[in-house]
A and B are shown apart, each in its own frame.
Chain A
Amino acid sequence: MTRSDEILSTFQDIGEMSLRNWRERFPDYRPLGFLSGYVPEELFHAAGFSPVFLLHGREGCGHAQAHLPGFTCWVVRSALDRALSGELSALAGVAFAHTCDAVQALADLWPRVVPNPPALYVAMPHHLAAPAARPYLLAELQRLRERLEQITDRALSDEALRESIALHNRTRALVRQLYEVADRLPAPALHTALQAAFLMPKEVYNPLMADLLDTLEAHAELALAKGEDPKGSPKFLGSQHHHRPRLFVVGPELADPTLYQVIADAGGRVVGDLLDLGQRYFARAVGETGGPLEALAEHTLAMLPTPTKYHPQRRREAHLLDMVSAGEADGVIFARQKFCDPHGFDVVTLKTALDKANVPHLLVELEQTPHIGQMRTRVEAFLEMIGA
């Protein structure tokens, strides 16, 4: 097994690991769950926690049914299911930021329904360019900081926060590099490496990721030395590296790697994404000068918004078109979670923009259990169409 295979296999293990085993795997860290791409990970980290995203699993114990109607998205139902099954009891807490109505409802009923772990809630502006969005968000972050100080019974210093920001910025830089070589990686490997960033302590993830990138770099150099096209890196993409359609994936978070596997099997590769927990999440570093809390607020407002937020100047369709053109993508796949309202509207706006720009696209609807056969047929047909 090569070093890169080894690292990818470690990432994959972690992706498949139950949170029940998290503490055993990382005994030096205290896990804290979070849901939604707007939770300020650094603040929790500076308070001594390792934020772990509550990615939904395919399995459900059905306990959430007693609380949430069937027309609730699986992302939210799964989180409650896992909490009620006891899988999350080793977490120090679960953090929610106000994003969509469903996550909001979950945060709202959590204290009543889930005795442990406790919920931590961060309100967020929805209009990111509103006149007073910045002071409001800053007040929220300050409130959260005080709450964390109460919980841990120790001060959360600016210095600790700065260190956490630097650590997370390192993760961001590494994941950005990962995207730079994304077209050389099989889609499932990209998915696995990305997802691991949300599931393990950054202190452990960063060096592994740096190693992985070094190995990939070495392969590319070797390929160049041999006069091969490094973009079709033989190690990772196999021999037939011509005309593998370059795809962009749009959606919320993708806990389930099925879509990426299906894309790879059909001969496509993923060169970038507009996932809530994808490229946009890592695109910008948090400022490392000035007040750290201010820098976090600034960062939240400056990120490309997810569809739950509004920013008149940061349009997602303009961003998508730029990305598609910069990444020389051949097509876009929308991975829409069933019952997700914000993405349900967003898909229409984005696809209208893609139609105008003559970019082909395909909508795949995700449910609790993916319909793999159907997904495969549709993705294959789509790739055939854009490959022709």
Chain B
Amino acid sequence: MPKYPRLQSLKAINRVMERYYVKRKLMARLKPMAYVTSGAPVEILETMGVLTLYPENYGALCGARRDAVRLCEVAEEDGYSQDLCSYARSHIGAVKQPDGAPLNGLPKPDLLLCCNNICGTVLKWYEVLADHYSVPLFVLDVPFQREPQSEPHAVQYVTDQLEALIAWTEEVTGRRWKPKKFREVLALSNETVSLWGEIRDLGMHKPSPVNAPDLFVAMAPIVALRGTRQAVQVYKGFKAELKARVADGVAAVPGERYRLLWDNIAIWYRLYRFFRPFMDAGACFVTDSYTNAWSAAEPVDLDDPLTSMARTLLAVYINLDLETRAGIVADLAQRFAVDGMVMHANWSCKPFSLTQSDIQAAVREQMTLPTLMLEADMCDSRRYNNGAIRERIAAFLEMLG
């Protein structure tokens, strides 16, 4: 079996994330703890010294550790249907039965911040959490952006809510808002986001120093630690390692023959195993639409932070109209010079999956791009038909020739 070079930085990133969880377990009684969604303006909470945890990230962890199905079943016993989001089911299962769940469950929250710029499911999920823990919930309502540019009344709507969020957090936590600290946090956040963009762009090199599963592991800090020094530091290390690979001509997939694009959320329970047959055939996923979601935005304008932040929240990839998203995918395909695309039709994620066929069609209008569409689920391995998927991957690789 071929050997693939390992990225040392991923170990460092995993250590940072372990510390992140340990720290939150230890500090949960000393500082207010918020659960937040992956598209939420965490910088506001970071400014207030509020600790944050991401149930979605925890869902991914449950998937990666193959605990998700068992936890989903706990939620299903309570009546949550098997066709609901497996992040939500995994996390709700762990809330109900923390013993034996990864990290023995997350520490309890004191407040909840739900931003619906990624899906409607989070709204229901956070209502469940607010009821369960009897803690205050702030719903940050970000309208779907149906035009390439955000509309003024939508920007105003979100900006007004961001102001209300600051006042609400002050009230709920008894902590004061510090504009100067906010600038510092935003500057760090901007730096993290731009580092993440630079890291991803290194995949443009031929051969690519990085493969999509590496990015799926590496993405945790961009989601969970935006606006902190640890994120900046660990990504500087990651970027340096990838640049060294480029300088030394080290490929993530030695003998890179095909360059591919991945669409949709990762399949957490088969993170590397899924990609193995591709790697063995010399195919590297040099870019993806999933981790790109945290790098596409423009930096937040420090002189008009709330309005600028509102625009960023509206322009999250999954909140954009189909044609704009297809444009982003086509742009990635072009810039990264890919030979094909693999789309994961993910049972759990309707905003990502329901428009995939037409995104593919829209991309095809701009370029020839062999595409493989596979149905599976990000955490619920019961949706993974190994035999069928293996055969389709083999056929796809054969077709790439």
**B157 lies within 8 A of A125 (CB):** yes
**Which of B124, B140, B350, B353 is the one whose CB lies under 8 Å from A345?**
B124
**B143 lies within 8 A of A98 (CB):** yes
Q: Which of A5-13, A32-40, A188-196, A346-354 contacts B (4 or more CB under 8 A)?
A: A346-354
How many angstroms from the CA of A126 to the CA of B128 in the assembled complex?
Answer: 16
Query: Is residue B131 within 8 Å, beta carbon to beta carbon, of the partner chain?
Result: yes
How many angstroms from the CA of A112 to the CA of B88 in the assembled complex?
Answer: 32
Minimum CB distance partner of B319 in chain A: A104
**A139 lies within 8 A of B83 (CB):** no
In the complex, chain A residues 282-320 whose Cβ is within 8 Å of any chain B Cβ: 307-308, 310, 312
A38 to chain B, nearest CB (A): 13
Contacts of A346 in B (CB 8 A): 124
In the complex, chain B residues 30-61 whose Cβ is within 8 Å of any chain A Cβ: none
**B144 lies within 8 A of A71 (CB):** no
Minimum CB distance partner of A100 in chain B: B120
How many angstroms from the CA of A6 to the CA of B170 in the assembled complex?
Answer: 63
B130 to chain A, nearest CB (A): 9
**A310 lies within 8 A of B375 (CB):** no
**A344 lies within 8 A of B141 (CB):** no
In the complex, chain B residues 93-131 whose Cβ is within 8 Å of any chain A Cβ: 116, 119-121, 123-125, 127-128, 131
Q: Which of A130-138, A246-254, A255-263, A370-378 contacts B (4 or more CB under 8 A)?
A: A130-138
A107 to chain B, nearest CB (A): 8
**A338 lies within 8 A of B83 (CB):** yes
Contacts of B139 in A (CB 8 A): 126-127, 130, 310
Contacts of B120 in A (CB 8 A): 100-101, 104, 126, 308, 341-342
**B161 lies within 8 A of A131 (CB):** yes
**A136 lies within 8 A of B154 (CB):** yes
Query: Is residue A67 within 8 Å, beta carbon to beta carbon, of the partner chain?
Result: yes
Q: Which of B2-10, B207-215, B241-249, B355-363 contacts A (4 or more CB under 8 A)?
A: B355-363
Minimum CB distance partner of A142 in chain B: B153
Contacts of A17 in B (CB 8 A): none
Contacts of B161 in A (CB 8 A): 127, 130-132
Query: Is residue A102 within 8 Å, beta carbon to beta carbon, of the partner chain?
Result: yes
Query: Is residue B182 within 8 Å, beta carbon to beta carbon, of the partner chain?
Result: no
**Which of A105, A121, A310 is the one whose CB lies under 8 Å from B354?**
A105
Q: Report the contact-size class of chain A (Cβ under 8 Å from the partner).
A: 35 or more
Contacts of A341 in B (CB 8 A): 84-85, 120-121, 124, 350
**Which of A68, A104, A112 is the one whose CB lies under 8 Å from B144?**
A104
**A132 lies within 8 A of B125 (CB):** no
Given contacts A125-B157, A344-B83, contact A105 B362 (CB under 8 A): no
In the complex, chain A residues 135-164 whose Cβ is within 8 Å of any chain B Cβ: 135-136, 139-140, 143
Given contacts A108-B322, A310-B127, A348-B80, contact A140 B153 (CB under 8 A): yes
Minimum CB distance partner of B125 in chain A: A345
Query: Is residue A72 within 8 Å, beta carbon to beta carbon, of the partner chain?
Result: yes
Query: Is residue A388 within 8 Å, beta carbon to beta carbon, of the partner chain?
Result: no
B135 to chain A, nearest CB (A): 13
**A108 lies within 8 A of B157 (CB):** no
Query: Is residue A123 within 8 Å, beta carbon to beta carbon, of the partner chain?
Result: yes
Minimum CB distance partner of A137 in chain B: B157
Q: A: which residues have CB within 8 A of B?
A: 66-72, 98, 100-102, 104-106, 108-109, 112-113, 121, 123-127, 130-133, 135-136, 139-140, 143, 307-308, 310, 312, 336, 338-339, 341-342, 344-349, 351, 363, 365
